Amino acid sequence: MTQIPSPETLQRMASVVGPQGMLSAEADKAPYLKEWRGLWTGETPIVLRPQSTDEVSRLLTIAHDTETVIVPQSGNTGLVGGQIPNNGEVLLSLDRMTRIINVDATDFTLTTEAGATLKSIQDAAESVDRLFPLSLASEGTCRIGGNLSTNAGGLNVLAYGNTRDLCLGLEVVLADGRVLNMLKTLRKDNTGYDLKNMFIGAEGTLGIITAASLKLVPRPRRYDTILVAVPNPAAALDLLSAARDASGNRVLAFELIPEIGVQFTVKHMHTRRAVETLAPWYVLFEMADVAEGVADTVLEAALESGSVLDGVTAQSETQRRELWALRENMSESQKFEGGSIKHDVSVPVSKLPQFIAEATTAVETFMPGVRVCCFGHMGDGNMHFNVSQPIGMDKQAYLAKWHAMNRVVHDIVMKLDGSFSAEHGIGILKREDMQRYKSAIELDVMRSLKHVLDPKNILSPGRVLP
């Protein structure tokens, strides 16, 4: 258990950030201590809110000196518990470091402090007629430092990659307070080891990201947004290949949706059922800047081959929004159906049909009456394999089966050369999976890295590594 920092240590830290930069009253700290799905609630002696990289550096120098544990927090939208401090862990929030330092339309780059919300970065890019293509449900609240630290994915990975792929440079404060400035905006730079990517996806355990340079792309001028009914996931894969090919790789998103998910959103979120044909599965996909007629050609060929049963194309931005609402309301709608045990997994794209079939059978065997709502980023092989409780079962009794059901699903995922955490990371939720599924050599190299960069184990200890 972490030692509570001494009053002297807390006083030294407080003097770095000043009265405006710290919170110690319970009511003020509360919003930082509650995970938004309600799975974790933490405690901390103090919330530190530095205003500059220099302040972060001075805080970590003190922490290193005094062996005080620091838990960095970004927008507090993480789904694996890593951002919630416990016991004596000091919370360090970057929510006052929100300045967008530079936007350059010619360079297609943006440089920002780590506390800027994803939405503010998207807006800054749009203000110079560019797109920052990272897009996910929490974009109004999450902050880029957290997106980077968890290598966030989201809706448009198929076209633009994960957050890692969108990052050109980083500024990181190391565990001992030294500042590693790698804030370049270069497309090519082969000068020594790639330090940047060590910190991306490390969930704040190797250093604290304080600023980043990001790639921008041209803003799409025209979208084709299409919802289709398909007979099965294999047919959806045929459609994906055909669409990628015909569009010259301009498929931005390709989302699989199950009939039960449509029922949930229609019932609870009052979303309109946009395709009349009832089918076991649907796909919502979007292409950008392809020539007029390409979408129709793809759709007609798919209808003819039978890989698509019916389809509707958005004829306006309003209709486009309406189609997307069906997908975007999917997570929220499940809350009305009682407990939901989540799996954020990926497999090679070609193995998705096998994964869905095997995992569905396995959880239905594990607990008869569960309702599988498997949806998500088919183009990336990434499914949110969510399992709603049997109707009438006690919610807490159901959620108590979380890890046991995870085991059933993750064993299948790993058999298929997949990942037990595609997007959300490890945090504290999936540490045991790391132990079970990662090779001893991988874990050993990861521990060596942690030891080199944080020898006193003061940055979010107990997260990521088992």
Q: For residues 429 and 431, what is the distance between their CA atoms, to the nearest angstrom?
A: 6
The nearer residue to its own copies, 41 or 181, going by C-beta atoms, is 181
Work out how close the CB of 450 gets to its own copies at its nearest, in angstroms, rounded to a whole number.
Answer: 8
The nearer residue to its own copies, 404 or 445, going by C-beta atoms, is 445
Token look-up 């979007």 returns 286
The nearer residue to its own copies, 5 or 154, going by C-beta atoms, is 154
CB 48 within 8 A of CB 21: yes
Work out how close the CB of 181 gets to its own copies at its nearest, in angstroms, rounded to a whole number.
Answer: 7
The one-letter amino acid at 152 = A
* Contacts (Cβ under 8 Å, ≥6 apart) of 293: none
Work out how close the CB of 381 gets to its own copies at its nearest, in angstroms, rounded to a whole number.
Answer: 6
What sign results for the dihedral spanned by CA atoms 111, 117, 123, 126? positive
Q: For residues 57 and 68, what is the distance between their CA atoms, to the nearest angstrom?
A: 14
* Contacts (Cβ under 8 Å, ≥6 apart) of 453: 174, 175, 198, 206, 207
Work out how close the CB of 367 gets to its own copies at its nearest, in angstroms, rounded to a whole number.
Answer: 26
CB 313 within 8 A of CB 226: yes
The nearer residue to its own copies, 357 or 434, going by C-beta atoms, is 434
49: left (phi over 0), alpha (psi -120 to 50) or beta: beta
CB 118 within 8 A of CB 73: no
The nearer residue to its own copies, 283 or 370, going by C-beta atoms, is 283
The nearer residue to its own copies, 11 or 197, going by C-beta atoms, is 197
Work out how close the CB of 46 gets to its own copies at its nearest, in angstroms, rounded to a whole number.
Answer: 28
Q: For residues 455 and 212, what is the distance between their CA atoms, to the nearest angstrom?
A: 25
Work out how close the CB of 183 gets to its own copies at its nearest, in angstroms, rounded to a whole number.
Answer: 8
Work out how close the CB of 76 gets to its own copies at its nearest, in angstroms, rounded to a whole number.
Answer: 18
Work out how close the CB of 225 gets to its own copies at its nearest, in angstroms, rounded to a whole number.
Answer: 15
* Contacts (Cβ under 8 Å, ≥6 apart) of 65: none
Q: For residues 327 and 368, what is the distance between their CA atoms, to the nearest angstrom?
A: 27
The nearer residue to its own copies, 115 or 169, going by C-beta atoms, is 169
The nearer residue to its own copies, 180 or 303, going by C-beta atoms, is 180
Map 344-407 to HEC letters.
Answer: EEECCHHHHHHHHHHHHHHHHHHCCCCEEEEEEEHHHCEEEEEEECCCCCCHHHHHCCHHHHHH
The nearer residue to its own copies, 330 or 413, going by C-beta atoms, is 413
Outline where DSSP puts E strands in 98-222.
Answer: 100-104, 109-113, 130-131, 167-173, 179-182, 208-215, 217-218
The nearer residue to its own copies, 37 or 219, going by C-beta atoms, is 219
Work out how close the CB of 83 gets to its own copies at its nearest, in angstroms, rounded to a whole number.
Answer: 15
Work out how close the CB of 39 gets to its own copies at its nearest, in angstroms, rounded to a whole number.
Answer: 18
324's tokens: 């997307």
408's tokens: 């059933």
